[in-house]
């Protein structure tokens, strides 16, 4: 069974020689990122670099606070202490029976002065930590259920025996690539950034308030605010890691296929063995880099004609072509604009009889003929090697993938339109592999080890 354990932050910082972030200012007056800020190029490297994906940093806190892991455990074992630290409610504990904690209303109802004198206030960071250190003992929880007692014991052991893990005065800042920001090209100013950056900034501003005050109540208020923000960072961090969209599964464990398509399959008696009918709109995604290369070779007169057609279509469909300041961005015939155009084209914004649709279709047919490309395709679940097929492409104006009707057994497929899905994974461009595929028309490709896009 997996367990979540805290790391020694001081050792982590020392071993990795992490730099410290000292400024809550993001940019200088000249538009450059602050060298000691959250987006510093000196600390995290340029955006998109390897360093921006690996470099951690830390924020030095002006007070020791409870590790968010233990704080979340405290909420489970004793919610009253949790609320006391966050200043949500004031509680009182009995000095003779430390685990007997009452709220302020119950305290007011005690009229016996002698009994009343046995209760001490439990409100704020200092009171609660003092209570945990002096009154919270294992011998007082022996009558608790076994599972709860074990949690209490671990909590107390960490607090008393490993205070360097239980209390922290440094906060780790994750690499810049996992908390990106948006920059306006015209003004050079930051227009937005990831939610976790707001929380880091909030911590730093609250941290600065601690330097300017020695008042106990103000310090307790600021610490409560820091703890609340730290919980938000903790929960946000868990969401960034968890589920399919989390960092682990979407980035570290994912198998990304950029040029692919997926659709329902139908039988086609006009196809030869080893051929597959791919919709034109899907082929645009499959052959995108090759299409962009061909489009860039157009003469200037043709470029102007198509720029006008595309611009008018965007206006007709109400597609936003303005920047963050509302300024119109004219369509340019360069790779970035063409890539965005092809993404919109693949959604079917042009009629099949339109000039630009036929032009793209002609380009794809030319690419298929000249490059002699073969598409790998499979139907999930892929139970055996025959589930994978390598097929020559034949363009169709349909929205479904067309397959030769004799291939249904190997794909374990039928044509009821429910669970029968075709999946185009990779384009094989290895010359030696292509030669084998042409000779045998359709092969088992479980032994092909290297696929190049």
Annotate 330-389 with DSSP letters as a single string: ---SSHHHHHHHHHHHTTT-S-TTSHHHHHHHHHHHHHHHHH--EEEEE-SS--SGGGEE
Closest CA to 138 of 119, 125, 124, 154: 154
pLDDT category, 429, cuts 50, 70, 90? very low
Q: What is the pLDDT of residue 150?
A: 75
Q: What is the pLDDT of residue 414?
A: 72
Using CB atoms within 10 Å of the CB of residue 92, give its burial: 0 to 12 exposed, 13 to 18 middle, 19+ buried.
buried
Q: What is the pLDDT of residue 183?
A: 74
Query: Is the distance from CB of 283 to CB of 392 less than 8 angstroms?
Result: no
Q: How many CA atoms lie within 13 A of 148 on its CB side?
A: 11
Mean pLDDT of 36-41: 89
Query: Is the distance from CB of 422 to CB of 265 less than 8 angstroms?
Result: yes
Q: What is the pLDDT of residue 124?
A: 79
Task: Locate 70 and state its tokens.
Answer: 């233990």
Tokens 């000039």 sit at which residue?
355
Q: Is the pLDDT of residue 204 over 70?
A: yes
Q: Is the pLDDT of residue 58 over 90?
A: yes
What the chain holds in terms of domains, given with CATH numbers, is 9-86+129-250 (no CATH), 88-122 (no CATH), 261-440 (2.40.40.20)
My answer on whether omega of the bond before 420 falls inside 30° of 0, hence cis, is no
Q: What is the pLDDT of residue 420?
A: 43
Q: What is the pLDDT of residues 320-355, one digit of tens each?
A: 887 656 778 888 888 888 988 998 998 888 888 889
When the pLDDT of each residue in the chain is averaged and rounded to a whole number, the result is: 78
CA distance linking residue 45 with residue 295, whole number of Å: 35
Q: At what angle do helices 146-161 and 68-77 cross, to 10 degrees?
A: 140
Per residue, the 3-state secondary structure of 241-266, as one string, reads: HCCCCCHHHHHHCCCCCCCCEEEEEE
* Residue of 20 and 151 predicted with greater confidence: 20
Using CB atoms within 10 Å of the CB of residue 127, give its burial: 0 to 12 exposed, 13 to 18 middle, 19+ buried.
buried
Q: What is the pLDDT of residue 273?
A: 80
Could you tell me the pTM of the whole model?
0.56
CA distance linking residue 338 with residue 346, whole number of Å: 12
Kindly list the distances between the CA atom of residue 190 and the CA atoms of 10, 159, 185, 339, 366, in Å, as whole numbers in the listed order: 32, 42, 9, 25, 44
Q: Tell me how far the alpha carbon of residue 261 is from its chain's centroid.
A: 23
Q: What is the pLDDT of residue 59?
A: 92
Mean pLDDT of 351-362: 90
Q: What is the pLDDT of residues 250-281, one digit of tens each?
A: 665 555 556 777 788 888 888 888 888 888 99
Q: What is the pLDDT of residues 123-178, one digit of tens each?
A: 777 777 777 777 766 555 666 666 667 777 777 778 877 888 888 889 999 888 88
């Amino acid at each position: 069974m997996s367990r979540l354990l805290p790391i020694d932050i001081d050792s982590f910082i020392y071993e990795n020689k992490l730099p410290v972030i000292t400024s809550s200012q993001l940019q200088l007056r000249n538009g450059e990122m602050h060298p000691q800020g959250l987006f510093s190029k000196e600390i995290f490297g340029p955006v998109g670099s390897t360093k921006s994906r690996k470099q951690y940093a830390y924020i030095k806190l002006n007070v020791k606070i409870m590790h968010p892991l233990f704080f979340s455990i405290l909420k489970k074992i004793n919610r009253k202490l949790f609320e006391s630290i966050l200043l949500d409610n004031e509680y009182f504990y009995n000095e003779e029976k430390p685990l007997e904690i009452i709220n302020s209303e119950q305290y007011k109802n005690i009229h016996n002065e002698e009994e009343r004198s046995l209760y001490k206030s439990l409100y704020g960071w200092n009171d609660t930590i003092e209570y945990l250190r002096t009154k919270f003992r294992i011998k007082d929880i022996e009558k608790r259920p076994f599972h709860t007692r074990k949690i209490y014991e671990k909590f107390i052991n960490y607090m008393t025996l490993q205070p360097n893990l239980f209390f922290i005065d440094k906060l780790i800042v994750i690499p810049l690539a996992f908390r990106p920001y948006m920059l306006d090209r015209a003004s050079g100013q930051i227009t937005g950034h990831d939610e976790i950056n707001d929380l880091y900034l909030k911590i730093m501003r609250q941290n600065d308030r601690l330097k300017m005050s020695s008042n106990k109540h103000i310090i307790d208020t600021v610490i409560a605010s820091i703890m609340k923000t730290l919980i938000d960072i903790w929960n946000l961090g868990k969401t960034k890691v968890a589920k399919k969209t989390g960092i682990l599964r979407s980035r570290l464990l994912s198998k990304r296929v950029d040029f692919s398509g997926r659709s329902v399959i139908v039988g086609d008696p006009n196809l030869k063995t080893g051929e597959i009918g791919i919709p034109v709109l899907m082929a645009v995604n499959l052959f995108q880099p090759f299409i962009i290369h061909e489009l860039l070779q157009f003469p200037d007169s043709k470029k102007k004609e198509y720029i006008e057609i595309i611009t008018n279509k965007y206006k007709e469909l109400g597609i936003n072509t303005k920047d963050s300041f509302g300024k119109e961005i004219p369509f340019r015939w360069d790779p970035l604009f063409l890539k965005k155009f092809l993404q919109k084209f693949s959604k079917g914004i042009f009629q099949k009889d339109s000039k630009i649709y036929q032009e793209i279709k002609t380009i794809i047919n030319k690419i298929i003929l000249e490059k002699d490309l073969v598409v790998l395709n499979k139907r999930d679940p892929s139970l055996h090697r025959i589930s994978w097929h390598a097929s020559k492409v034949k363009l169709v104006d349909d929205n479904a993938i067309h397959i030769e009707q004799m291939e249904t057994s190997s794909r374990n497929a039928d044509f009821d339109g429910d669970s029968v899905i075709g999946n185009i994974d990779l384009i094989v461009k290895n010359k030696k592999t292509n030669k084998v595929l042409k000779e045998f028309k359709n092969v088992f490709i479980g032994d092909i080890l290297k696929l190049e896009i």
